[in-house]
Amino acid sequence: MPLFADIEQRAQALRQQLHHHAHRYYVLDAPAIPDADYDRLFRELQALEEAHPELRRPDSPTQRVGGKPLDGFAKVRHQVPMLSIRTETDIEATGARNFDTRMRRELRLGEADPPVEYVAELKFDGLAINLRYEHGVLVQAATRGDGEVGEDVTQNIRTVGQIPLRLEGDASLPVPRVLEVRGEVYMRRDDFERMNEQQRAKIDSGAKNEKTFVNPRNAAAGAVRQLDPAIAAQRPLSFFAYGWGEIGGGPDFVTHAQVLQAFKTWGVPVSDRVRVTRGADELVAFHQAVGQDRDQLPFDIDGVVYKVNSLALQRQLGFVTREPRWAVAHKFPAQEQTTTVEAIDVQVGRTGKLTPVAKLAPVFVGGVTVTNATLHNEDEARRKDVRVGDHVIVRRAGDVIPEVVAVVPERRTHDAPPFTMPRQCPVCGSDAVREEGEADYRCTGGLFCAAQRKQALLHFGQRRALDIEGLGEKLVDQLVDAGIIRTLPDLYRLGLGHLAALERMGDKSAQNLLANLEQSKQTTLPRFLFGLGIRHVGEATARDLARHFGSLDPIMAASPDRLLQVPDVGPIVAESLHTFFAQPHNREVVEQLRACGLHWPEGEPAPVASLPLAGKTVVLTGTLPTLSREEAKTMLEAAGAKVAASVSRKTDYLVAGTEAGSKLDKARELGTVILDEVGLKALLLSGN
């Protein structure tokens, strides 16, 4: 019987694995594998036991619901067992139809009989809780435990604001003498992210024994099972009810939906996504609608639940060993799976940001095959301690880039070194720097780096920079993808032959573009500086630099200390400028642009004190008779004024045209001097 011996050994191995993972999931709140992996192991054991009933053991995970209670909590025996429900593993529409077919068969319904009525609900990803109310007052809260015996977590549950301490009924719908409400304690995604941000701040400040949480489900479960209720009270928990245990002395309910509606009336939270449906088609529609909305929900779900609505039919259908016949959980594609890290590469984004990316053994997660997952930045990669060869849990939700959630440390069988971000750009070799207070490293070769080529061209040609009309995103894509342009000076080496070969580029369009390129060679120093795309150098800073230095060469040669003498230039901007011009690649691009004929007026630095409106703040609003907003702004800044976007107590003048709006009201309220276009021109002439 060697074949049977192999099957018996496999069943024993599966039992051991499932016991181990159930202990980590239910008792330690530290799962080592995603739910989808656990479900696969469970289904394999279930199939073996169905094919060979003699392999069933009393301690098999298929014969029980969950894990043992923690020794640190008092034990609670459930008056009505907290059973789990069957999982429909067919994630397509046929999964809903399979359930409806099975119900009709169990109820002996023919084709002529009306459709079965169901309650369709969300399958929350949290911790199951039984709330016991006596005479409307919460007296006990217990976890599921092994389905028969759970853990008394009353003190912790009392800290959950959504769970009422007293139920409110009336004469038409009195609260039962005894009512056990069953539902899910969970954590909203936004609450989870805020909590993890706080944890990261503690870790960064040097706090010991602090950690971030893997996912909202783990965070919620860990909070409920804190031995110190004060700690549980700090965790932002929520609750939804979906069922009940013991009910004594209450109204006579006919349907499942009636009970849930009564819960809402008594003050118990119930999801507003509960629907009463009829037949398979409406189950399918519910599953598809929730699937489309899944990523926009404020909390995690991993499927939906269908229940026969009639309580009489529920009693008729009854139970099998560990689950009711009248309910099923219909899963969505798993959003977390386990795979291995084959390599860690560093990608360079359009703006120069360096991002470590885990190259994965292909894994199907969230409905697609994933081979790459972001590690965000060096700090995050080190915090999670992701290394080549590791088994990791990968998460994908909707269109969000897949990410590595956590490492499975117990499966690490090697000693690969921790990840370290390279200090040179892997694309162009320029220095990669991390500014103070920032999490990301960035390539400093913005004008030379191939990864930033398209972004650099689009920024350089925009209206507020060199203003190259016709140089749009589609054209830039074609020029770069065809290898015609590799760096900014290549723009000015274009000819009709290059452009004529491009898709949808006619002679007229090509000639117009070449004319616009020629026209852009005559520019200003502020526009040119802004067009270089130096990090933190916007239009205002470019003007301040040009005004302070008068010409480009002193700016390129300036030390950080010298740059700090420019008004409104702080340490971050000064360091960014110095680092940019310290890169030989960037200096070479600037010189080549000059050689291509780009030029601008230069002169001696303008003493700030000599400018007529130096130190004055002006706000523009409405439409002026003859000046555009941009023209007025240029004139004011040339006179030394700072042009602000909103009115405040620091505003010296408001220049108002027609349809001025709320800024004019604010200026009147603050007593700000208000000018029209004539007044603006007079101010520019007088300087005060």
Residues with catalytic function: 123
Spatial contact of 674 and 664, defined as CB atoms under 8 Å apart: yes
Spatial contact of 319 and 325, defined as CB atoms under 8 Å apart: yes
Distance CA 210, CA 131 (A): 31
Residue 183: name the closest of 241, 270, 256, 122 by CA.
241
* Beta strands per DSSP E along 200-352: 238-248, 275-278, 301-308, 327-331, 336-348
Distance CA 688, CA 485 (A): 49
Which residues contact residue 250 at a Cβ distance below 8 angstroms, ignoring those fewer than 6 apart?
174, 175, 176, 177, 179
Token readout for 315 is: 């009693």
Q: Which amino acid is at 260?
A: L
Chain CA centroid to CA 90, Å:
28
Helix (H/G/I), strand (E/B), else coil: 299: coil
Distances (CA, A) of 192 to 196, 333, 484: 6, 22, 48
Spatial contact of 484 and 498, defined as CB atoms under 8 Å apart: yes
Spatial contact of 30 and 222, defined as CB atoms under 8 Å apart: no
Helix (H) or strand (E) holding 510: helix 507-520
Residue the block writes with tokens 């099975």: 102
DSSP string, 34-92: -HHHHHHHHHHHHHHHHH-GGG--TT-GGG--S-PPPTTS-EEE-SS-----EEE---S
DSSP state of 646: S
94-106 burial: b if 16+ Cβ within 10 Å, else e? ebbbbbbeebbeb
Residue the block writes with tokens 């004319």: 515
Chain CA centroid to CA 188, Å:
13
> Burial level of 688, CB count in 10 A (0-12/13-18/19+)?
exposed
Distance CA 173, CA 65 (A): 34
Helix (H) or strand (E) holding 287: helix 279-293
Distance CA 120, CA 276 (A): 6
Residue 465: name the closest of 547, 533, 558, 370 by CA.
533
